Chains A and B, each alone.
Chain A
């Protein structure tokens, strides 16, 4: 494994592993995998090719060339509904912060991908299922606005169960807010690229996830509007094989390409170099 980059070391505490087991079991083929090897393998099962869900920090390590300058890192969610179900929302998010080592379900910042300067947002499923509440909406909006000011391409790696229920309509409105930011950004003639990873559904797929100029799906991801369970309950019939998989979406014309994890960085680099070439000609 490559040495820990400076930005990651500077960031300090990494989350505690959920278990200190040395082994992980591939949820797809049940292969026993040595955890240390898994990182080297980019968290891809060597036997069946299954992509393990990875943290935002690991994802950034995979994509960023060297430095990653995080922005808006201190934004923390409020509790607009004063929500409680089995436990309070405040307790839930406190647990998510400990478990994930993150303040929220997305990290945003600036870095280079394969030599191209970009604004990068990476969502993390470990924090409230990657759901979009006030902070995710705000950070995506801030990132896109700042990319507009700096005339940089914006890239967002999505992993989300949709709008965050515990923030109610305030969460749903983040779809409108981020969409407005994307609409403005598009008028500036700047490229917006999304990478849809496992899973990308609901309020995130129905807003910025599918508003990009180029939409890349990581192989084997579940991507869709409604969750599988909801569809099951509504139509009560067998869903086709591979329904809502990246490959299914490609076949149905919903994404531009399906890319394996190992190819993601060079692919993003190729796309960004083409789209960002004309930006270089614009004086800063």
Chain B
């Protein structure tokens, strides 16, 4: 059960009441404008109360909201998206979509982790949890981007790479490891958008890049709050506690220097104004791509190396001992 869906129920009721009054206002002679204004003020107040101060755990649920924009919503908002399928070895993994498109006229390659909107779609997309063949399809697209010198855009939204028998048999570790190695040295700009769930290594597999953008209420973590809670306290119901400690919000990850840019969401989350959020993300992508395209390739790769090289929290004790 999604806690945000529960929280926003009274708001949705109020909003549909306002819609009803507005319709009456247009069709009837009676003037409801005073009532409408009063209800709108109430709705705004309610919205601010519900969403003004969300806990990390509530924000995790916002990132999982059934109406949140998914990877394909962003990708199909690009011009002329053409999907490319398959890893050429085993099968096509619907949890990762891949292809090419135009970003304001600029040719780009795109990758995204794709969830479903309903149960049927989610079964088809495996709830956005890729198998090794998904990461191998991703590698094909990465190589195309490099070969034809086009920027790569990725959209990250996965609970994690799939933990299953087939995934292990076909080398889930190797598939992600190879993505990371390829992305680290890829001789073309890479812009990453963390738009929903950033579930650990499964997210990172398509999230190593030059400019990392994160939607305000997306989460990105070394482990999902549920997994962390079951490891730490053998109790998955303590996920709200784990969500607090993992520092998985966009603000905290910006402070750590892991995220380069946060794109704001409307009050209540991305699903309250999907079109606006998509536009903001693609605008941010456009700015990043234009800036990165100006860099000589060697400098681009060096900067990418340094970006990750400096991430770490360690101190050197007892200076001089190392020299003996």
> Which A residues lie at the B interface, using CB under 8 A?
71-81, 83-86, 103, 133-135, 137-138, 141, 163-165, 167-177, 179-180, 182-184, 186-187, 201-203, 205-211, 223-227, 230-231, 234-235, 239-240, 243-244, 252-254
Contacts and interface: CB of A to CB of B under 8 A. Distances in A.
Given A85-B245, A138-B314, A169-B247, 6 more contacts: A134-B314, A170-B311, A173-B312, A177-B308, A180-B185, A226-B164
22 contacts: A74-B317, A74-B318, A77-B314, A78-B315, A134-B312, A135-B314, A137-B312, A141-B309, A165-B222, A168-B221, A168-B222, A169-B222, A169-B256, A173-B308, A173-B311, A180-B309, A207-B176, A226-B163, A226-B172, A230-B163, A234-B163, A252-B170
A182 B181 contact: yes
> What 4 pairs between A and B have smallest CB-CB spacing?
A226-B163, A78-B313, A179-B180, A225-B172
Interface stretch (B9-17, B223-231, B280-288): B223-231
Interface residues of B, number: 58
Contact of B309 (A79, A177, A223): A177
Contact of B253 (A73, A135, A169, A179): A169
Contacts of B258: 169-170, 173
B247 to A, nearest CB: 5
Given A210-B174, A252-B169, A254-B174, A180 B317 contact: no
B321 A73 contact: yes
A168 B318 CA distance: 27
B315 A76 contact: yes
Contact of B184 (A137, A169, A183): A183
A81 B171 CA distance: 32
B222 A172 contact: yes
A177 B178 CA distance: 14
Interface in B34-76: none
A176 B201 contact: no
B168 interface: yes
Interface of B: 161-165, 167-174, 176-178, 180-185, 200-201, 204-205, 208, 220-223, 227-228, 231-233, 245-248, 253, 256, 258, 304-305, 308-309, 311-319, 321-322
A170 B322 contact: no
Contacts of A239: 165
A224 B173 contact: yes
B311 A175 contact: no
A86 B233 CA distance: 8
Nearest to A202: B201
A75 B183 CA distance: 28
Contacts of B247: 81, 168-169
B222 A138 contact: no
B165 A235 contact: yes
A84 B242 CA distance: 10
Contacts of A141: 309
A147 to B, nearest CB: 16
Contacts of A187: 185
B248 A168 contact: yes
A203 B201 contact: yes
Contacts of B162: 234
B201 A179 contact: no
Contacts of A134: 311-314
B87 to A, nearest CB: 15
Nearest to A224: B168
A225 B168 contact: yes
Contacts of B169: 252
Contact of A206 (B172, B228, B316, B321): B172
B251 to A, nearest CB: 13
Contacts of A179: 177, 180-181, 183-184, 208
Contact of B227 (A169, A182, A230): A230
B89 to A, nearest CB: 11
Contacts of A231: 163-165, 168
Contacts of B161: 206, 225-226
A179 B172 CA distance: 16
B185 A183 contact: yes
A210 B246 contact: no
Given A85-B245, A184-B305, A226-B168, A169 B221 contact: yes
Given A76-B317, A165-B228, A169-B222, A210 B184 contact: no
A180 B47 CA distance: 44
A204 B302 CA distance: 24
Contacts of A84: 245
A205 B205 CA distance: 13
Nearest to A177: B308
Contacts of A223: 173
